[in-house]
Amino acid sequence: MNARTVILVSCALELSGLCRAVAQDLPWESRTVEAPTHQYADRPATCAGCHELSVGEVFTLEDGSRHPVFVDRDVLADSVHAEKLECADCHRNKKDYPHASISAATARAYRIEQSDACNQCHYEYYDDLRDSMHFEARNRADPDAPTCVDCHGAHDVKDSKELRLVVNQECAKCHEDIAKEYETSVHGKGLTEGLEDVPTCTDCHGAHAISATKDRAFEAGSYLVCATCHGDDEKMAKYDISPNVLKTYLDDFHGVSNHLYVNVGNIPEAPMATCGDCHGVHDVKEFDEEAGPAEVRKRVADMCRECHEGVEDTFAGAWLGHSEVSLGSAPLVWLVRWVYILAIPLMVLGLLVHIGLHYWRAGIEHTEGTGGHHE
Amino acid sequence: MIRAKLKWDEGGNLLVERFSPVRRFEHWLIAGSFILLILTGFPQKLDEMVVGHWLLTAFGGLDNARLIHRILGIIMSIHGVVHIMGWVVGVMNKKMRMTLLPDGQDVRDAWLQLQYYLGYRKHRAPMPKFDYRQKFEYMGMVLGGLVMIFSGLVLLYPALTARYLPGFFIPVAKMFHTSEAVLALLVLLIWHVYGSFLNPEVFPMDRSMFTGFMKVSDLAHHHEREYAFLFPEGEPRDASDPRADGMVFANQRLSDTPEPKGGPSAHPTAGST
């Protein structure tokens, strides 16, 4: 029964004088039950009739935990579902009174048991969720695996557009260490300052189809996550960040490799350096303008040694940085490139001219019958 | 010193050996490696090219393609070393004529050939065993090969490189490796297809790399100086002919096969040097 039907039915009931008016009220007041026989029998026979009473009624679960049955009218009114759903749309087994008893032993178990309530309407997100590592955790019967309401709220479920700014706090409920790391990062500081473009957790990880990050395939493609913003010239210009970072990465051996792993669709045998390996992931730092070239080189060499064990500091010179090859930045590379840029077409042209002249001469001799080559 | 290996074909034509079995083996080894190196290498250079993604999939993914590329590169490098050692040993034993080594005459030949193409000379310059075009291709292979070997080694062992050289040698080597590959591929596509297939002198195809031999009459036409060197007195009629001195015969001419058509006197340009 959807909300509109409920309202229509309720209106009919009201006209018949059996029930309170509901059209301007919350749907939770619309459902009538058989007149309760308990001490609240004088209350209206709706969900709100009992559940908005803040009188300390609780129910007790098998594990002994006690849970108030009170539902705050204002919280419900603030939620995105306020005008749309009635209680029993989600609490499907509470349609009738007296309510069926709760079989779940713990509050957590109850929440997990109820977690498929949302997919009646939001099936596409549920479908995405099934691809996520959170769902894998749920399949492992991990009680901490998040359900919809863990992130979105239950009675207070918010518009997901508002959620973006508070979503980090939702993630932090479980991923506390990472949340702290993030707060120290250039992105985290930006969020605190109110910059609208900085990525929150879900901008990089996705919201529903959150993939496992320890996966080689994810690592190989992780540069694409950074590229969504750092490959966006307009967005980068706003913050005076070099727009070349993606291109220069993709010109480098590591970038080419990851680009191909992603496009060919195979899993790398060994991890290949990607943005986060040098810049950090959750603790991503701003490029330190203060550090001198020697210091920067030293730091790059340390990054190299994370994978290339025991290489000399000079090894860092192999990385040309995120600036385009130029006479100033990498003179020898620039020179070799230009030698070939000039030599290749000249060579091809020379060979084609030679071949062309040969055919021309052969053609003339063929016409004149003087054949210098053949009898 | 053996000057040449000769044999007769079924039509009674005298043939002269152009590529010994060892040289033919080298050619096909290089050809096979080269093609596979191109197929495994270019998808890495042109990484946006969808055909390249298919190729990498066909080779079992990027890591496999790289493994194949490196093994072939090493095989080609070892071959290169053995080949150049062959020069040294051959020249020291005086058993090898450096018929593929360019010299000043090749520059003059190219100049004369240009004049001939443009109509300033009536005849082509007489050519040696391998003309300037063939020497160009061979030397391109040798020099280009050396560029590929050394830059490839730097890329295969970057950490070792950085121990002895500044780190920027690694991107320099990468620039050499990918650029030289483009040059080599284009030169080979254009020049080898021309030299061995589309050149009117050999059209539709020069089969000597399959058979190892070429007709002496073709030698007389297109490699006049080599003809004059091998047959200053004319072609031998059989192994007992005094003109066969220094020649090895792979077979005897069958008595009922006709005489070879035309002798050196039939070729106006032959023996002119």
Residues A30-50: tens digit of each pLDDT: 666 655 566 677 777 788 888
For A51-60, A105-114, A212-221, which range has the lowest pLDDT when averaged over its residues?
A: A51-60
Taking CA atoms, what residue in B is nearest to A310? Answer: B159
Q: List, as ranges, residues 20-79 from B with C-beta within 8 Å of A.
A: 43-44, 47, 53, 56-57, 61-63
**Spatial CB neighbours of B248, under 8 Å, sequence gap ≥ 6:** B2, B4, B5, B6
Asked if A46 contacts A31 with a C-beta cutoff of 8 angstroms, the reply is: yes
Q: What pLDDT is recorded for position A36? A: 56
Q: Is the pLDDT of residue A217 over 70?
A: yes
User: Which three-class secondary structure state does DSSP give residue A169?
Assistant: helix
Which candidate from B133, B167, B221 shows the least CB-CB separation from A314? B167
Q: What angle do CA A27, A33, A35 make, to 5 degrees?
A: 130
Taking CA atoms, what residue in A is nearest to B52? Answer: A264
A66: β partners: A60
Asked if B108 contacts B125 with a C-beta cutoff of 8 angstroms, the reply is: yes
Q: What pLDDT is recorded for position A341? A: 98
Residue A355: list chain B partners with CB under 8 A. Answer: 190, 194, 198
Q: Tell whether B166 is within 8 A of chain A (Cβ).
A: yes
Taking CA atoms, what residue in B is nearest to A366? Answer: B200
Question: What's the average model confidence in pLDDT over A122-128?
Answer: 90
Q: What pLDDT is recorded for position A1? A: 46
Q: Is the pLDDT of residue A17 over 60?
A: no
CA distance B126 to B117: 14
Contact: A268, B62; criterion CB under 8 Å: yes
Q: What pLDDT is recorded for position B260? A: 53
Q: Is the pLDDT of residue B262 over 70?
A: no
B8: β partners: B14
- Quick one: how far is CA A370 from the chain centroid? 77
Question: What's the average model confidence in pLDDT over A87-93?
Answer: 85
Q: Is the pLDDT of residue A92 over 80?
A: yes
Q: Is the pLDDT of residue A347 over 50?
A: yes
Which candidate from B56, B170, B183 shows the least CB-CB separation from A347? B183
For all residues of chain B together, what is the average pLDDT? 90
Which candidate from A257, A259, A318 shows the least CB-CB separation from B162? A318
Confidence at A24, pLDDT banded by 50, 70, 90:
very low
User: Which three-class secondary structure state does DSSP give residue A126?
Assistant: helix
Q: What angle do CA A316, A318, A319 make, to 5 degrees?
A: 75
